[in-house]
Amino acid sequence: MLIVGLTGSIGMGKSTAAAHLRARGLPVFDADAEVHRLYAGGKAVEQIERAFPGTTTQQGVDRQRLSAALLAHPQRIRELEAIVHPLVREAERSFLHAEARRGTPIAVLEIPLLFESGADRMVDAVVVLSAPADVQRERVLMRGVSPEKLDALLARQMPDAEKRQRADFVVDTSVSVEESRATLDTILEALRARHGAAFKRFWSA
Is 158 labeled as ligand-binding? no
Q: SS3 of 109, please?
A: strand
Structural contact between residues 125 and 2, judged by C-beta atoms closer than 8 angstroms: yes
Residue 56 labeled ligand binder:
no
Answer yes or no: is 42 a known binding residue. Answer: no
Give the C-alpha separation, 87 to 83, whole Å. Answer: 7
Q: By C-alpha distance, which of 145, 124, 28, 38 is closest to 81?
A: 38
> Which uninterrupted H or E stretch holds 77?
helix 77-102
For the chain, what's the residue count?
A: 205
Annotated binding residue 14 = yes
Is 11 annotated in a binding site? The answer is: yes
Whether 63 and 39 have beta carbons less than 8 Å apart is answered as yes
- For residue 74, the tally of other CB atoms under 10 A from its CB is 12
Q: Residues within the annotated binding site? A: 11-16
Q: Residues within the annotated binding site for ATP? A: 11-16
